[in-house]
Amino acid sequence: MKKADIFEFYRRLAELNPDPRTELEYGNDYQLLVAVVLSAQATDVGVNKATRALFRAVKTPAQMVALGEEGLKEHIKTIGLFNAKAKNVIALSQILERDFGGEVPRDRDTLTTLPGVGRKTANVVMNTAFGAETFAVDTHIFRVGNRTGLAPGKDVLAVEKRLEKDTPAPFRRDAHHWLILHGRYICKARKPECWRCPVADLCRYKPKTPAPAA
């Protein structure tokens, strides 16, 4: 996609949603990190249902360690892969408490050393908690980037690198939120809703989905 079109693509998404936010619910940086770890291969809605009660009781790594793995499992057993996630959350909480004074480190490479924290999770935390210009490429962004021509790449890292290189300055911090929301609600996996898409004229995907018959 041409530079001017990339700018216009983001400009329109930004105009429609000037202050995009993650749909995960959290009260502090630590809770955000936990919510993102829990959201792997799960929906934000499902994670929020489980974390509402959990986050009322647990606000710090020390409180999570005190709750323990079995106690945590009780809270998150409706979320996929909850056994492995509980183990990781307890282990990362122990490390935060022991090595980082209970704080979430503001560094992507350090974050990825924590159990259950991959590059995507670290990018989300860096962006959402600390305002870093990181691009957390999930399934939605991977699809939108390739389908539209905005940021084509053969794997998530390639798409991330392309976004890093091509995203214009005013939109870098919020780009990943706009793209996730665009992919989740309009440029859907099975049937993109092209007839109501604000960037249809910029997107190279063909054929566009026509409006459903009235």
So which residues are the catalytic ones? 120, 138
Which stretch, 56-64, 97-105, 110-118, 198-206, contacts ligand SF4 (CB under 6 A)? Answer: 198-206
**Complex with ligand SF4: residue 87 or 188, whichever CB lies closer:** 188
> What is the per-residue DSSP string for 101-142?
TTPPPS-HHHHTTSTT--HHHHHHHHHHHH--------HHHH
By CB under 6 A, name the one of 192, 207, 212, 214 that touches ligand SF4: 192
Tell whether residue 200 is a contact of ligand SF4 (CB under 6 A): yes
Minimal distance in Å, beta carbon 150 to ligand SF4? Answer: 8
Contact status, residue 61 vs residue 102, Cβ threshold 8 Å? yes
Q: Over the Cα atoms of the chain, what is R_g?
A: 18
Query: Minimal CA–CA distance to 145: which of 182, 195, 94, 102?
Result: 182
Tell whether residue 203 is a contact of ligand SF4 (CB under 6 A): yes
For helices 29-38 and 61-76, what crossing angle results, to 10°?
A: 30
Tell whether residue 199 is a contact of ligand SF4 (CB under 6 A): yes
By CB under 6 A, name the one of 159, 187, 191, 212 that touches ligand SF4: 187
Sorted by sequence, the CB contacts under 8 Å of residue 150 that are 6+ apart come out as 1, 6, 9, 144, 166, 179, 203
The CB density around residue 57, as the number of other CB atoms within 10 Å, is 12
Which stretch, 59-67, 104-112, 126-134, 187-195, contacts ligand SF4 (CB under 6 A)? Answer: 187-195
Tell whether residue 205 is a contact of ligand SF4 (CB under 6 A): yes
- Kindly identify the residues of this chain, within the stretch 116-155, that bind ligand SF4 according to CB under 6 A: 147-148
The annotated binding site for [4Fe-4S] cluster is made up of 187, 194, 197, 203
| Contact residues: ligand SF4, CB under 6 A | 147-148, 186-187, 192-194, 197, 199-200, 203, 205, 208
